[in-house]
Structure 1
Amino acid sequence: MFKLNFKIALRNLWKNKGFTLINLGGLAIGLASCMVLLLYVSYEWSYDKQYTNADKTYVVYQNAAANGKTFSWAWTPNPMAKEVAVKIQGVKYASHSTYPNPMLITVGENKIKARAVFADQYLPKILDYRFTKGNPEQALKGVNTIILTESFAKKLFGDEDPINKTVKLDNQDLLKVEAIIEDIPANNSIVFECLMPWELFEKKNPWAKGNNWGNNMCLTLVQLKDNNFFAQANADMEGIYKRNQSGNTAEALLHPITKWHLYSDFQNGKSVGGKIEQLKIFLLLAFCILLIACVNFMNLSTARSERRAKEVGIRKAIGSTRKSLVGQFLLESTFITLLSGVLAFILVEISLPYFNNLLNIQLQIDYGSIVFWATFLGLMVFTGFIAGSYPALYLSSFEPIKVLKGLKIKSDSSVSVRKVLVVVQFVFAACLIVCTSVIYQQLTYVKNKPIGYDKSNLIQIAVQGKMGDDSKLELLKALLVKSGAATDVTTFSKDITENGNNTTSISWEGKSPNESILFNNRGIGGDFIKTIGTELIIGREFSATSKNDSNKVMLNEAAVKMMRLKNPVGATITYGDTKMINVGVVKDFVVESAYQRVAPMIFYPSYLDGAAVVIVRLNPNQNISTSLAKIDELVKQIEPDYPVNRKFVDESFEQKFQDEKLLGTLSNWFGGFAIFISCLGLLGLALFMAEQRKKEISIRKVLGASTANILTLLNKDFIKLVGIANLIAFPLAYIITNKWLSAFEYRISFSAMPFIAAITLSVIIAVLTVSIQSVKVAKANPVDALKYE
């Protein structure tokens, strides 16, 4: 019986090649889109879950009340790990480390900038890195030692055995390679190429040795003996700052490392979500695209119902049961789904390199994964069953006597169900159009919103090696301006587009004792205002020619407002334990999130603790390539032992919008696929309606109706469906986009434009899709439809 049904299925699919190709294409695109989205969701979901004891591992977060709200971050003081290990119940290991930072590693003439981490001996135990060479028990116990990843060791030493060989760190420290570990997976929050002892970090940075509970400068990881200790351990973390530093009101909590990547947003000191919201959107998108593809199969299958009615009637008349007919139609749908699955698999393999480049990640199919194959087969079985269920039940319900007598099939219920399905499809399509429009508007609004300085033609060069010497920096600045490549040059204590470096250790006359304000603190060089293109509101900036401003600071507008200073210039500011005088007020400019209000900032002369970058304003009258080549040449003259590390500020600033750009791009692509598949659904309904009404259309033509009249008649019903879909979609889209926008302090106001665009596009898409089939019917010779009457 199966063999016979299979032959019938093949014969039907081959006989109706156009129908088969449309169904194959719709299901293949739906399955491929679903698979790519699921691969991305799986990749993001697996972040930080590769460790053996990931479920018992936690990141220590700090909650600090300031500026009227609670800030949360995974930055903690140096002594936190030791305190937790000794005082908190149930702790197996506690480790402190730096975050990955680029550092120069040299072997002979081979000089490579690598992401480096300084950590104590417990980090490899907590994250159970797999050692391929060396002794894990002795790892990070020395001072001048280093652990390399496999790929980085190969870059440095080729095929030689690197164990006990030496490398040079930042052209200063000679380090012995003590071990090799497997490469850190890309979907890991702490990705590095070399690991060095914490004692070496303290040797290079003596300030890090002190037990300063007010200095948040490292990452602290904690592994519990068992998760039964979690509640008690988290309770014991409360008050840990106050117990170690009088007056410190910060609080600490344990945040699961498995949630670190996806649940990174905090409100009032509690995790409220983060990237997980984006993954939920993509999961919903994957499910809806697949469902739309299934609906299309139903529509196209039932559109051909009259052609198969006699087949069903004859088979029932000679003894076929409804059960066997349902099996026949399900077999057809399953078979075409399997073919679609093969095509979808090919589409996924072809498209993955593009999406990897687009998302800057490495999605790949794990052919050895049972989970992958089980999911893939499950998707195909689910799709085949869902897509074939309604056509099978509907077609197998025909009464043999009626269809064999040539009587009309009652199709009212079919039409109503099909119309509901098309409405559902276009609800989703209209929602996508509105949401994509709002994402685009918000992104454009924030990108074009003034950020307080001119980021065009502005580059920053990392200060490395000898460049850190003040005299070398002054020489470089002079040479850059003299060369004509730059018009202005200054220094900054951090990448101008990066977060970090903040303090609450600022006080002034009139400050409430219970008030806590978080200030961003940055060191700036002379000519800073002119170089970055911002504005000095009042007062003066630091001297560019002398170092007489070591006891002076400057504030931004947000700081003056927060401090309620009526006469900011000349005000005495206590910075830590040092009294300083404010000499100027700088216009607010963005260094953190472009979506949030500018935080209070305090500036000090960058020579007090060293500059991190040199900021250069390129000469607009000179060719950019020529200027960059000259800048590189001059930097190499000052510091020949380091590769030049420079980047355009506007390119760095773009990184702030990465998540929103990703959401917008994927929504555009997969929303487009969903709309395309929805068009196939409309085509199916148009086929059905045209077949049902061909005699009516022929009579109307005989009575004088024009092609335009016929097209209007056929399109009118579909436009109604699209209108109903938009009426349902608009409230849903408003709720979704309003919730998304609520996360931003700077956001667009709602306008009618996205909704007008949605209804206009959906109507145009519907009319064009339906008209493809309707024109053929409207122009057909009425004699062909009426000659048997």
Structure 2
Amino acid sequence: MLRNYFTIAWRNLYKNKAYSFINIGGLAVGLAVAMLIGFWIYDELSYNKYHANYDRIAQVMQHATFNGKVETQTANPAAMGPEIRDKYGSYFKYVVQTSWPGAYVLSVGNTHVSKEGMFMEPDAPAMLGLHMRKGTYAGLKDPYSIMLSESVAKSLFGAANPVGKMIKLSRRFDVKITGVYEDLPYNSWFRDLKVILPWSLWLIDNPWAKTMKNPWGSNFSQTFVQVADNVAIEDASARIKSVKLDNVGKEEAKYKWVVFLHPMSKWELYNEFKNGINTGGEIKYVWMFGIIGIFVLLLACINFMNLATARSEKRAKEVGIRKAVGSLRSQLINQFFAESYLVVFLAFLFSVMLVLVLLPPFNEVAGKRIDFMWANPLFWIICLAVLGLTGLLAGSYPAFYLSSFQPLSVLKGTFRVGKWASVPRKALVVVQFTVSVTLIIGTIIVYQQIQHAKNRPIGYDRSGLVSMGVDKEVRDHFDAFRNELKSAGAIDELAGSNSPLTGVWNTNGGFDWEGKDPSLAVDFPNSNVTYDWGKTVGWKVKEGRDFSREFATDSSAFIINEAMVKFLNFKGSPVGKILKWNDKPYTIIGVVSDIMAESPFYPVRPSVYHINTENTYNMVLRLNPAKSSSQSMAQIEKIWRKYVINVPFQYEFVDQQYGSKFESEERIGKLSSYFAVLAVLISCLGIFGMASFVAEQRTKEIGIRKVLGASVLSLWQLLTKDFALLVLCSSLIASPIAWYYLNDWLSGYDYRVAISWWVFVIAALGALLVTLLTVSYQSLRAALINPVKSLKSE
């Protein structure tokens, strides 16, 4: 019997090829979208799960009240790790202090490579649960040791065992390779960790960290912990809450430090803090795309239900004959479910093919490295559940509706579906286009928000700017290097600073000024720059003047940004006023436009700039516009190599650095737009099928109207009017839904676009236009049929 069900189902599908293509194709696209979204969500939810103890690992973070607001930071002082280990050691299995990630040059013979790494305390490999290929977890106990990832070891030593061999680190230290670990997966927070170095070597290289007068006064390291097996992260976090506040002086206590643990399980999805409260993060996109995936799959199911019920009159006689010869209603239900599950199965096969084709470009857009989960049993269990539910959902209404026909009325020819029979179909079409229009509106708003931030004034001219790190040899001969580049005509100007132009690496407190509230604790971005910084980046001086070598007093001068002017709230011009820093007076000599150094979606922080030619770790070069970029960079590399030997030449254009600030939003925008297009495509497939049915159903009516003198235009209007009304109804429902959720999304940005009424109009008109184009083919085809053929009886 079961075989008979599927044989008849196959014959029906083969007989109605266009209908089958629409059903299978639409469902395949829906399943493929749901599968891709499912892969993306699984990857997000499994972030950091590579680390065996990820649910017990946490990062030590701090809340502090700066400038009247609670800020959250990951940087810790030198004393944080030892203090937690000494006083609260029973609550932790491991306490690991680390540096920030950085690029380090590894040299073996004539081979020199630059790889990202971190200095870490000896317990780091055990805490992270690294999969050791060679060596042991104990490899970092020797200060002059190093651990390499498997890929780096292979690039330097091939198939040979590198453990025990010596390697030159940053052309300064000879270190011994004590371990090789498996490369970390792409969905690990430490995925770029290719080199691990001992924290003790960092202390040797930075002796000031041990001799600081106030080891709690400067935040320059990170601290990670693994809580003890019998301790909850929340309990351990509560214990160390006041660890910093208990060890700082009266002035430092004004910042109201609160130390807490942020679990590794929340680093990816719950990484946003506002005013000291965790407000979520990427988790909102997990929910958003999960809902989109469900709705896109639902759209495909709606197509199947609509087309199956629309064809009810064609299959009415089949049902009547089957019932007349003794078929039970349950057998008819089983027959229609067999057709449903056959469609679902075939659609699933095509969806797998689609996913295999689309996965590489999807990974590129999503910024992922997802593989098809052939060997994951959870994937197949979910697939079976989804297929079962989809087949049931898509086939239930046709099965129960068609099997309910009365054989007597059907075979006598008196069967009529009734004037209300089309209402469910119309309601489902409205649901389809409500989802599609909502996604279209969302795509437009996301694009607007990105463009709004991109068009925001950034306070400098980034065209032709190149950013580079400063090696010791260049730092020691900075002026000579600059002059040689200018003489060669490669650059117009060059300047250095302690932070890159598109980031803030240094903030300071200890500022005081006339009229300041004594209880106010402040912390401002404080950039050390060389004299030609303003000229190089092209900042806009609004008041006063730029730094100049002609004024010896500029070594005790500040230039401040417009945000700082508002914060200081001086009466009159701030130029000439005194701003104290650690009790040393600095004269404000100029005001510049706010420079967009951090997120373009949030306000620019009050910032200060001062001259310091020693702490130069980054430099910005403005290329000569009279030469091509490739020519200039070739000259720069040639001169650079005269000073720096055996180090890879690395640089980045500032406009690329700035563009990376939009990566997350652009990624979400692209994914949303692709899903919106697919949702509209699926909806249009359904509309196309429905239009085909309506045109076929009204063939004789159209013939009579043509005989009576109806024009092609009037017939087109007759056939498209109902669909247009349904789409407009969908737009009216979608608009408030989209406004509510998009307004909530935009509220997460301080600098955001306003939602305009025309967005909803454009989305509605776009959906209407696509619908009319889809329906018009069938409508015009029906309207152009010779009435002699359409009125001819059997």
TM-score (norm. length: structure 2): 0.96
Alignment partners' CA distance in 2, 1:297 and 1:173 = 68
2:748 is aligned with what amino acid? A
Q: 2:540: which partner in 1? A: 535
Matched, 1:394 2:401: yes
Deviation of 1:548 (Å): 6.4
Of 607, 613, 625 in structure 2, the residue corresponding to residue 607 of structure 1 is: 613
Work out whether residues 145 and 175 of structure 1, in 8 Å CA contact, stay in contact via their aligned partners in 2.
yes
Q: Name the residue aligned to 2:320.
A: 313
- Equivalent in 402, 417, 423 of residue 424 of structure 2: 417
Q: 2-side partners of 1:231 and 1:39: how far apart?
A: 31
Cα separation, 1, equivalents of 2:126 and 2:176 = 21
Residues 433, 754 of structure 1: 8 Å contact kept: no
Map 1:129-168 → 2, pairs under 5 A: 129-136=130-137, 138-168=138-168
Tell me how far 1:673 sits from its aligned partner.
0.5
Q: Aligned partners of 1:763 and 1:227: how far apart in 2?
A: 61
Equivalent in the alignment of 1:467: 474
Q: Of residues 481, 484, 489 in structure 2, which corresponds to 1:479?
A: 484
Match of 1:4 in 2: 4
* Counterpart for residue 774 of structure 1: 779
**CA offset at residue 656 of structure 1?**
0.4
Shift of 1:551: 3.5
1:500-579 residue pairs with structure 2 within 5 A? 500-544=505-549, 549-566=554-571, 567-576=573-582, 578-579=584-585
Amino acid at match of 1:201: W
In 1, the alpha carbon distance for the partners of 2:261 and 2:339 equals 54
Is residue 108 from structure 1 mapped to residue 109 from structure 2 by the alignment? yes
Is residue 427–residue 728 contact of structure 1 (8 Å, CA) maintained in 2?
yes
Q: Determine the structure 1 residue equivalent to 2:185.
A: 185
What is aligned with 1:659? 664
Q: How far did 1:578 drift?
A: 4.2
| Matched AA of 1:348 | V
Q: Evaluate the alpha carbon distance shift between residue 688 and residue 17 of structure 1 in structure 2; reply closer, same or farther with a 3 A threshold.
A: closer
Q: Which runs of 5+ in 2 are unaligned?
A: none
Partner of 1:291: 298
Q: Distance in 2 between matches of 1:27 and 1:411?
A: 29
Conserved 8 A contact 2:19-2:689: no
Q: Do structure 1's residue 65 and structure 2's residue 51 form an aligned pair?
A: no
1:665 to partner: Cα distance: 0.4
Q: CA deviation at 1:177?
A: 0.3
Q: Does 1:348 align with 2:355?
A: yes
Q: Determine the C-alpha separation between the residues in 1 that align with 2:601 and 2:505.
A: 16
Whole-Å Cα distance in 2 between the matches of residues 462 and 411 of structure 1? 77
1:734-763 Cα distance to aligned partner (Å, 9 max, x none): 111111111222222222221121111111
The residue type paired with residue 209 of structure 2 is A
- 1:233 is aligned to 236
Q: Deviations over 1:292-345 (max 9, x none)?
A: 011111122222222221111111111111111111111111112111111111
Q: Are the aligned partners of 1:163 and 1:178 in contact in 2 as well (CA < 8 Å)?
A: yes
Distance 1:239 1:517, change over 3 A: same
Q: Which moved more, 1:82-91 or 1:341-350?
A: 82-91
Partner of 2:195: 194
> 1:433-489 deviations in whole A, cap 9, x for unaligned?
1111111111112111211001111111211241121xx111111111111121111
AA in 2 matched with 1:112: V
Q: Is the 8 A contact 2:506 2:525 kept in 1?
A: yes
In 2 relative to 1, CA 544–332 (structure 1 residues): closer, same or farther, beyond 3 Å?
A: farther
Answering whether residue 332 of structure 2 is matched by residue 331 of structure 1, we say no
Alpha carbons of 1:520 and 1:785: their partners in 2 closer, same or farther (altered >3 Å)? same
Name the amino acid aligned to 1:467.
V
- Retained in 2: the 8 A contact 1:433–1:757? no
Residues 233, 263 of structure 2: 8 Å contact kept: no
Deviation readout 1:90-137 (Å, 9 max, x if unpaired): 22221111232111111111111101111101222221112121122x
Partner of 2:389: 382
Deviation of 1:715 (Å): 1.2
Contact 1:30–1:293 (CA<8 Å) still a contact in 2? yes
- 1:584 aligns with 590
**Contact persistence 2:22–2:689 (CA under 8 A):** no
**Is the CA contact 2:602–2:749 (under 8 Å) kept in the aligned structure 1?**
yes
Query: Would the aligned equivalents of 1:418 and 1:685 in 2 still touch at CA under 8 Å?
Result: no
- Extract unaligned runs of 5+ from structure 1: none
Q: Is the 8 A contact 2:313 2:417 kept in 1?
A: no
CA contact (8 A) 1:430 1:729 kept: yes
- The answer to whether the aligner puts 1:491 opposite 2:496 as a matched pair is yes
Counterpart of 1:42? 42
- Deviation (angstroms), 1:47: 1.2
Cα distance in structure 1, aligned partners of 2:232 and 2:35 = 39
Q: Please tell me whether the aligned partners of residues 365 and 671 of structure 2 are also in contact (alpha carbons under 8 angstroms).
A: no
Whether the 8 Å contact between 2:105 and 2:647 is mirrored in structure 1 is yes
DSSP 3-state at the match of 1:768: helix
More divergent stretch after superposition (290-299 vs 550-559)? 550-559
Where does residue 602 of structure 2 map in the other structure? 596
Separation (CA, whole Å) in 1 of partners of 2:673 and 2:19: 28
1:145 to partner: Cα distance: 0.4
Aligned equivalent of 2:717, options 712, 715, 718: 712
More displaced, 329-338 or 742-751?
Answer: 742-751
Tell me, yes or no, if the aligned pair for 2:437 and 2:731 is still in contact at 8 Å: yes
> 1:303 touches 1:687 (CA, 8 Å); kept in 2?
no
1:697 maps to which residue? 702
Distance between the aligned counterparts of 2:566 and 2:516, measured in 1? 13
The 3-state SS of whatever aligns with 2:458 is coil
Answering whether residue 765 of structure 2 is matched by residue 760 of structure 1, we say yes
CA shift at 1:84, angstroms? 1.9
Is 1:124 paired with 2:125?
A: yes
Q: Give me the whole-angstrom Cα distance separating, in 1, the residues matched to 2:49 and 2:352.
A: 27
Distance 2:683 2:418 in 1: 22
**1:607 aligns to what SS in structure 2?**
coil
SS in 1 for 2:168: strand
CA distance in 1, matches of 2:336, 2:52: 48
Cα distance in structure 1, aligned partners of 2:55 and 2:729: 48
Deviation at 1:641, TM superposition (A): 2.2
The 8 Å contact of residues 366 and 671 in structure 2, kept in 1 or not, is answered as no
Cross-structure match for 1:261: 268
Q: Any conservation in 2 of the 1:99–1:190 contact (CA below 8 Å)?
A: no
CA deviations on 1:530-573 (whole Å, 9 max, x unpaired) are 11111223334334589864433332221232122345334333
Matched residues, number = 785
CA RMSD of aligned residues (A): 1.9
How far apart are residue 27 of structure 1 and its match?
1.0
Q: Secondary structure at the match of 2:141?
A: coil
Q: Determine the C-alpha separation between the residues in 1 that align with 2:679 and 2:506.
A: 45
Partners of 2:467 and 2:654 within 8 A in 1: yes
Q: Tell me which residue corresponds to 1:206.
A: 207
1:436 maps to amino acid: T
Q: Percent identity?
A: 38
Is the Cα contact below 8 Å between 1:293 and 1:677 reproduced in 2?
Answer: yes
Q: Which residue of 1 aligns with 2:99?
A: 98
Q: Report matched runs for 1:668-683 at 5 Å.
A: 668-683=673-688
Matched letter for residue 36 of structure 1 = L
| Residue deviations 1:570-626 (CA, integer Å, cap 9, x gap) | 433333464444333222111001111110112222324x21222111111222221
2:511, 2:579 within 8 Å by CA — same for their partners in 1?
A: yes
Alignment partners' CA distance in 2, 1:144 and 1:351: 47
State yes or no: 1:433 paired with 2:440: yes
One-letter amino acid of the structure 1 residue matched with residue 452 of structure 2: Y
Q: Structure 1 298/518 Cα, relative in aligned 2: closer, same or farther at 3 Å?
A: same
TM-score of the aligned structures, taking structure 1 as reference length:
0.96
Letter in 1 for 2:218: N
Distance 2:596 2:111 in 1: 38
Letter in 1 for 2:105: L
Residue 23 of structure 1 corresponds to 23
**Distance in 2, Cα, partners of 1:605 & 1:235:** 42
Query: What amino acid maps onto 2:202 in structure 1?
Result: F
